[in-house]
């Protein structure tokens, strides 16, 4: 398992626009946008308009997310790539947004660049990764080879209040909203636990466990919630974060904002029981976690 820690200007530019335009709703746009506004002031109506057009041009584009990720994450010159691969009209909308917003972006990115670099220098935390991988292979009933897996981890801008991560299934990569997070021995470990949480989503839960959930639980929202809470019971605040990184804040905080502290505790204990008794996640685990969610 190789963690390739990366950063680049263009992936951050896409992130910047996604956040400001409200295109990306999976991370935490309001926290970061409010923070940016304290840095560069309110957006003008010209800037807001350019962002709206950018968002619309992207949303209506076929295979939208992957295409734009490819352009901004993997190409040295995304503009050339976009120009070659989309209509001129659409390209002009995107490029215009860049022209309108580039100074504000530059201000934020250049301020945070040394922080991004500093995070890159301390990640990944090389600690027990083979044993962790083996544990996950066992719990999720998979048979993945440690040596064959690798994941690209992109460090992104963030607000001082929040650190978050998101797995991108198609490109087997993770984005980490991180720059403003203070570096302490524990925060570095916590970020590593966030990465492991996303690695579960990318590699471990899809082959067997999620399919089992789909068989047992009819409601799609509930399926996703169970899948998410299972991963949360291990990392970043769960039992494996405790076992391998010595982080036991799971007792003070809920493992996920959608469940109570009491439910969190019960779910973590359930996973702990499975780990201690050397059992992988099975039907009965799903039933029990489902019961916990509905009762507490
Ligand atoms: Zn998750």
Per-residue HEC secondary structure of the chain comes to CEEEEECCHHHHHHHHHHHHHCCCCCCCHHHHHHHHHHHHCCCCHHHHHHHHHHHHHHHCCCCHHHHHHHHHHHCCCHHHHHHHHCCHHHHHHHHHHHHHHHHHHHHHHHHHHHHHHHHHHHCCCCCCHHHHHHHHHHHCCCCCCHHHCEEEEEEECCCCCCCEEEEECCCCEEEEECCCCCCCHHHHHHHHHHHHHHHHHHHHCCCCHHHHHHHHCCCHHHHHHHHHHHHHCCCCCCHHHHHHHCCCHHHCCCCCCCCCHHHHHHHHHHHHHHHHCCCCCCHHHHHHHHHHHHHC
Give the per-residue pLDDT at 62. 58
- Cα-to-centroid distance, 249 and ligand 1 (Å): 18
Distance from Cα 231 to the centre of ligand 1, integer Å: 7
The pLDDT of residue 138 is above 90? yes
**Cα–ligand 1 centroid distance for 104 (angstroms):** 31
Percent of the chain with pLDDT over 90: 79
Q: How far apart are CA 145 and CA 137, in angstroms?
A: 9
What's the whole-number mean pLDDT along residues 21-46? 87
Q: Determine the distance separating the centroid of ligand 1 and the alpha carbon of 100, expressed in angstroms.
A: 34
Among 13-17, 129-133, 215-219, 256-260, name the one with the lowest average pLDDT.
256-260
Q: pLDDT value at position 41?
A: 94
Q: How far apart are the C-alpha atoms of 134 and 128, rounded to whole Å?
A: 10
Give pLDDT, residue 198. 97
Residue 228 C-alpha to ligand 1 middle, in angstroms?
Answer: 5
Q: How far is the CA of 197 from the centre of ligand 1 (A)?
A: 6
Q: What is the pLDDT of residue 34?
A: 92
* Centre of ligand 1 from the C-alpha of residue 46, in Å: 36
Residue 57 has a pLDDT of 84
Label residue 171 by pLDDT band (50, 70, 90): confident
**Spatial distance between the Cα atoms of 134 and 131, rounded to a whole number of angstroms:** 5
Burial class (CB in 10 A: 0-12, 13-18, 19+), 139: buried
Neighbour tally for 130: CB within 10 Å: 10
Q: In angstroms, what is the span from residue 270 Cα to ligand 1's centroid?
A: 18
pLDDT in tens, 52-74: 998 888 877 755 677 888 899 99
Kindly report, residue by residue over 252-276, the tens digit of the pLDDT.
678 888 889 999 999 999 999 999 9
**pLDDT(250) > 80:** no
**What's the pLDDT at 23?**
79
- What's the gap in Å between 48 CA and the centre of ligand 1? 31
pLDDT band at 122 (very low <50, low <70, confident <90, very high): very high
Across the chain, what does the average pLDDT equal? 92
């Amino acid at each position: 398992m190789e963690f390739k820690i990366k950063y680049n200007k263009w992936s951050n530019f896409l992130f910047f626009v996604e956040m400001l335009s409200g295109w990306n709703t999976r991370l935490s746009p309001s926290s970061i946008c409010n923070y940016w506004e304290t840095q560069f002031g309110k957006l003008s109506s010209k800037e807001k308009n350019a962002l709206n057009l950018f968002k619309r041009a992207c949303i209506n584009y076929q295979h939208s997310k992957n295409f734009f990720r490819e352009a901004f994450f993997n190409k040295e010159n995304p503009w050339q790539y976009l120009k070659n691969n989309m209509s001129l009209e659409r390209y002009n909308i995107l490029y215009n947004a860049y022209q309108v917003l580039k100074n504000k972006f530059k201000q934020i990115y250049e301020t945070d660049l040394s922080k991004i670099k500093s995070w890159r220098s301390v990640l990944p935390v090389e600690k027990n990764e083979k044993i962790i991988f083996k544990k996950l292979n066992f719990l999720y009933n998979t048979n993945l080879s440690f040596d064959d897996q690798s994941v690209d981890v992109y460090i992104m801008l963030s607000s001082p209040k929040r650190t978050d991560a998101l797995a991108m299934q198609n490109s087997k990569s993770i984005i980490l909203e991180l720059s403003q997070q203070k570096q302490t021995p524990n925060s570095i470990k916590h970020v590593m636990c966030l990465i492991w949480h996303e690695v579960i989503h990318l590699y471990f839960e899809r082959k067997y466990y999620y399919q089992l959930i789909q068989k047992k639980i009819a409601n799609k929202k509930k399926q996703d919630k169970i899948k998410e809470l299972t991963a949360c019971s291990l990392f970043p605040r769960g039992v494996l974060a405790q076992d391998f990184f010595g982080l036991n804040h799971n007792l003070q905080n809920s493992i996920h904002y959608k469940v109570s502290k009491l439910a969190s505790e019960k779910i973590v204990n359930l996973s702990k029981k499975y780990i201690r008794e050397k059992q992988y996640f099975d039907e009965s685990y799903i039933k029990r976690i489902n019961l916990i969610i509905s009762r507490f």
